[in-house]
């Protein structure tokens, strides 16, 4: 999942009478506590390509510490009462930091977790050096002394939608997030995992009761307030935070949903936050190359393993690896890593990438197996033992659509190959986790 990057398993901390789940990813110092929005699930976070890509980027610069606060996710499902929530949750964060040996850290608090970020920085000034607050608030709902909060009728309508449709992707509707059917299914599964409907009402009441306006002046940490136009939190909410925190600056953004990234393509908001947290200018185009990405996937590998048995199947896989290595060398491709039932390789030439893929698909028939392949050309970030970027994600999704003994390629790759290969149009497709519609083309070995 995280090539070249340390990821610890989920661990539980015993705090008071509760078990709190946490996870550490990457290496520090510095340490960064990421507080996601209101309901979380440490395992499910990695299922979403944009969220996992975001966490990988954070873990490349920090030792990333995440936790499911009590009442949600893998922690004990005990929602604290509204008047004790910030105390309880802040003690859980401090306890996790003690458990991992962190003496000083930064905080990135998003959405509904913003007040907890403020509370932590005010309560433990010696522990937190910098604070990033994104699309958040000091108090959510409007009142006479807080006229730019969310109007009561909108709060009531949102609460009703959540209560009626929780576990069906209700979050997308309430927060106005762009989505397709696949995204709705993913969000629905996330909601069901993160919190039960029975606890949902109590958790909503907690967040509606939170008000940290009186604590803003006690935050000594240098603070960056990032805000974009969004469905729920107004720009005035962001200005309230920036005005109340002494050492703070406000950055307004035009990128919608700037924290939602596809693999490792980072919009401006993430660059700004990383520069603020690290003090180092983020070079967005560092190590970027135009490459052709090829994913190969073994068709029905589990069935083969069951039919042949572990020993014989291992022998077949060794022959497969040798065959692939021979063809990669012939066509000047570069093996990157294994994908479980297949592999990822890169090429400088899309024509050689297609020729190599077809050669491998043809050769593996002697082993009694079939492959499917995805091929796309685009800019990627190169690392010592890995390649990342939207182009990698696109190629991986092509494999999901390809048929056995078929290489599926994008319009970009097809245009670059030109007349050097014969391909057939396969219509326009939606690719999971990738925006837009994609015209796709296929090629098969000549003897298929």
Q: Where exactly are the structural domains of the chain?
A: 11-278, 288-443
Pairing of strands 105-110, 288-298: unpaired
**CA separation, residue 55 to residues 27, 32, 33, 135 (Å):** 13, 11, 11, 18
CATH architecture entry for 11-278: 3-Layer(aba) Sandwich (3.40)
Which pLDDT score is estimated for 309? Answer: 87
Which residues does residue 253 pair with via DSSP β-bridges, in sequence order?
228
CB neighbour burial string for 413-447, b if at least 16 within 10 angstroms, e if fewer: bbebbeeebebeebeebebbbbeeebebbbbbbee
- pLDDT tens-digit profile, the chain (448 residues): 333 344 568 999 998 889 999 999 887 678 999 998 878 999 888 877 778 778 887 888 889 999 999 999 999 999 999 999 999 999 999 999 999 999 899 999 998 999 999 999 999 999 999 999 999 999 999 999 999 999 999 989 888 888 888 888 887 877 777 667 887 888 889 889 999 888 998 999 999 999 999 999 999 999 999 998 777 788 999 999 999 999 999 998 865 444 444 444 445 678 788 889 988 765 555 567 889 999 999 998 878 888 888 888 888 888 999 999 999 999 999 999 887 788 999 999 999 999 999 999 999 988 888 999 999 998 888 876 788 888 898 999 999 999 999 999 999 899 888 777 788 999 999 888 777 789 999 988 876 5
Which pLDDT score is estimated for 282? Answer: 58
**CA separation, residue 372 to residues 109, 300, 360, 395 (Å):** 42, 11, 10, 12
For the chain, give the secondary structure using H, E and C.
CCCCCCECCCEEEEECCEEEEEEEECCCCCEEEEECCCCCCCCHHHHCHHHHHHHHHHHHHCEEEEEECCCCCCCCCCCCCCCCHHHHHHHHHHHHHHHCCCCCEEEEEEHHHHHHHHHHHHHCCCCEEEEEEECCCCECECECCECCCECHHHHHHHHHHHHHHCCCCHHHHHCCCCCCHHHHHHHHHHHHHHCCHHHHHHHHHHHHHCECHHHHHHCCCEEEEEEECCCCCCHHHHHHHHHHCCCEEEEEECCCCCCCCCCCCCCHHHHHHHHHHHCCCCCCCCCEEEEEEEEEEECCHHHHHHHHCHHHHHHHHHHHHHHHHHHHHHCCCEEEEECCCEEEEEECCHHHHHHHHHHHHHHHHHHCCCEEEEEEEEEEEECCCCEECHHHHHHHHHHHHCCCCEEEEEHHHHHHHHHHCCCEEEEEEEECCEEEEEEEEEECCCCC
Which pLDDT score is estimated for 171? Answer: 79
Tell me how far apart the alpha carbons of residues 371 and 60 are, in angstroms, rounded to a whole number.
33
Flag whether the pTM goes above 0.75: no
Which pLDDT score is estimated for 2? Answer: 39
Which pLDDT score is estimated for 288? Answer: 72
Q: Is the dihedral of CA 138, 139, 145, 150 positive or negative?
A: positive
Determine the Cα angle at 88 with ends 84 and 94, to 5°.
150
- Overall fold of domain 288-443: Alpha-Beta Plaits (3.30.70)
Tell me how far apart the alpha carbons of residues 294 and 372 are, in angstroms, rounded to a whole number.
10
Which pLDDT score is estimated for 255? Answer: 56
Which pLDDT score is estimated for 257? Answer: 46
Which pLDDT score is estimated for 268? Answer: 63
Give the distance, in angstroms, between the CA of residue 51 and the centroid of all CA atoms in the same chain.
1
């Amino acid at each position: 999942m995280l090539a070249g990057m340390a990821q610890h398993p989920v661990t539980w901390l015993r705090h008071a009478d509760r078990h709190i789940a946490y996870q550490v990813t990457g290496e520090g110092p510095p340490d960064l506590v990421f507080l996601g929005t209101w309901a979380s699930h440490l395992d499910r976070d990695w299922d979403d390509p944009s969220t996992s890509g975001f966490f990988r980027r954070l873990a490349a610069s920090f030792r990333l510490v995440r936790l499911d606060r009590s009442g949600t996710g893998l922690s004990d499902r005990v929602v604290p009462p509204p008047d004790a929530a910030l105390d309880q949750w802040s003690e859980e964060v401090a306890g996790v930091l003690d458990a991992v040996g962190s003496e000083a850290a930064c905080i990135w608090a998003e959405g509904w977790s913003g007040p907890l970020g403020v509370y932590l920085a005010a309560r433990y000034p010696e522990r937190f050096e910098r604070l990033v607050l994104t699309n958040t608030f000091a108090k959510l709902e409007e009142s006479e002394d807080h006229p730019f909060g969310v109007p009561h009728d909108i709060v009531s309508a949102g609460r009703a939608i959540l209560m009626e449709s929780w576990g069906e992707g209700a979050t997308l509707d309430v927060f106005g997030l762009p989505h397709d059917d696949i995204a709705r299914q993913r969000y629905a599964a996330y909601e069901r995992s993160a919190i039960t409907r029975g606890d949902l009402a109590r958790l909503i009441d907690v967040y509606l009761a939170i008000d940290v306006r009186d604590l803003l002046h006690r935050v000594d940490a240098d603070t960056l307030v990032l805000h974009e136009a969004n469905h729920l939190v107004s720009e005035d909410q962001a200005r309230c935070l920036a005005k109340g925190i002494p050492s703070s600056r406000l950055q307004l953004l035009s990128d919608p949903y700037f924290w939602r990234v596809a693999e490792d393509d980072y919009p401006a908001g993430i660059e700004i936050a990383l520069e603020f947290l690290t003090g180092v200018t983020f070079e967005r185009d560092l190590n970027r190359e135009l490459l052709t990405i090829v994913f190969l996937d073994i068709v029905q590998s589990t069935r083969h393993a069951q039919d042949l048995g572990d020993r014989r199947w291992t022998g077949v896989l060794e022959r497969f690896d040798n065959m692939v290595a021979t063809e990669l060398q012939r066509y000047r491709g570069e093996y990157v890593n294994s994908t479980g039932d297949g592999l990822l390789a890169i090429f400088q030439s899309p024509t050689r990438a297609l020729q190599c893929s077809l050669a491998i698909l043809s050769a593996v028939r002697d082993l009694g197996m079939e492959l499917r392949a995805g091929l796309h050309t685009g800019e990627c970030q190169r690392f010592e033992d890995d390649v990342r970027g939207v182009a990698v994600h696109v190629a991986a999704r092509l494999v999901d659509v390809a048929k056995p003994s078929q290489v599926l390629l994008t319009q970009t790759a097809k245009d670059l190959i030109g007349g050097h290969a014969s391909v057939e149009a396969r219509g326009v497709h939606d690719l999971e986790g990738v925006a837009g519609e994609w015209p796709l083309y296929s090629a098969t070995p000549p003897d298929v």
